[in-house]
Amino acid sequence: MSTATHALPGGAGAPRAGAARLACSLVIGLAVLALAMLASVAFGSHPTSLPDVLDVLAGTADPNTAAVVESRYPRTALGLLAGLGLAVAGTLMQGVTRNPLADPGLLGITGGASAAIVTALAFLGASGQSAAVWWALPGALLAGLLVHVIGSAGSGAGPARLVLAGAVVSAILTAYVQAVALSKPQVFDGYRYWVVGALGGRDFEVLVSVLPPAALGLLLAVLLGPALNTLALGDESASALGANPALTRSGGLLAATLLSTAATAAVGPIAFVGLAVPHIVRALVGVDIRVQIAFSAIVGPALLLLADVAGRVVLRPQELMVGVVTALVGAPALLLAVRRMRGTA
């Protein structure tokens, strides 16, 4: 009896403890996300409070306060979508390429969106944030697909070739953007706001336009979760377990492309969310990519919304764009990731 009791903590008790820890982490994550959403609609350059938000939700607030709070709804919704898209895309990228420093920018998404916007501003007479979204969306998607085609074609296909293809395509597109923007000052004026990355100045129309690719990418990521887990064992082991490594890798990259395309087109390029969140999530839940995807969809939006709130409050009544805040917060995360890589090398 005593022997069986002593063995329990290391046997059947271990999975139960792991499940309890995951459940606890899930509850905490959802609570933090709910608080981040509440803070996003409560705090901003115009002073309001949590009781004001509750009054608006109850329909008892004065019209001015209601207008201020309701104007933040699209911003909060875009933060949810962009944070989810970038975080889950980063998780997929790091899992598929086996590169802990991979993020959505590796796919050429930012370069493609930027090149499309600059082209539209310079040669097609586009203007305004709504026009930028409609041009950024196909530009980012085409660039991501181009990187995937180059990186997966031929006999030398693999994660290293994908990284190289992404670097080459991004470099070419960045050079094009700089050449056009610097030669046409009016283009630079319209482009500089989008390129920093911000949640403000958009409406629900922007959200609706990018929702289909984001939903499709998330669905594909969830469906591929079990197969993506086998890739961590190596291609030979994955094949022995019945998976198709090439098809699984392509599907994972397509899902990452769709998610990061939607996020970048909607709010501009936001750095470090796709890099930092997967590291945070792995530290919390381990290596199961199915669980990582679920938690990335919670941690990413919470992190982005809190960064946006900080940018609105720190310089009140001025505003620090969320892309700047995430860069300031994400740089230490990058250093920690590098240190972890050195420690495990």
Of 274 and 125, the one with more pLDDT: 274
Of 181 and 190, the one with more pLDDT: 181
For 72-344, the fitting CATH number among 3.40.50.720, 3.40.50.300, 3.40.50.1170, 1.10.3470.10 is 1.10.3470.10
Most confident of 126-130, 210-214, 231-235, 283-287: 210-214
268 in helix, strand or coil?
coil
Q: Does 2 have pLDDT greater than 50?
A: no
| pLDDT value for 82 | 95
Q: Does 341 have pLDDT greater than 70?
A: no
| pLDDT value for 290 | 92
| pLDDT value for 128 | 60
Say if residue 183 is exposed, middle or buried (CB neighbours under 10 Å; 0-12, 13-18, 19+). exposed
| pLDDT value for 1 | 44
Listed by start position, the domains of the chain span 72-344
Give me the mean pLDDT over the 301-320 stretch: 89
Q: Does 110 have pLDDT greater than 60?
A: yes
* Band (7; pLDDT cuts 50, 70, 90): very low
| Of 229, 224, 230, 280, the residue nearest 256 (C-alpha) | 224
Give me the mean pLDDT over the 313-335 stretch: 81
d(CA 317, CA 66): 19
Give me the mean pLDDT over the 204-225 stretch: 92
* pTM, two decimal places: 0.85
- What is the total residue count of the chain? 345
Give me the mean pLDDT over the 271-284 stretch: 88
Tens digit of pLDDT for each residue in 225-243? 888 888 777 767 767 777 7
Q: Does 86 have pLDDT greater than 80?
A: yes
Of 2 and 138, the one with more pLDDT: 138
Which segment of 26-30, 53-57, 259-263, 290-294 scores lowest on mean pLDDT?
53-57
Write the single-letter amino acid at 229.
Answer: N
Residue ranges of alpha helices (H) inside the chain are 2-7, 13-42, 50-58, 63-70, 73-97, 109-123, 129-152, 159-183, 185-196, 204-231, 235-240, 245-267, 273-285, 289-314, 322-344
- Centre a 10 Å sphere on the Cβ of residue 27 and count the other Cβ atoms it contains: 10
| pLDDT value for 314 | 86
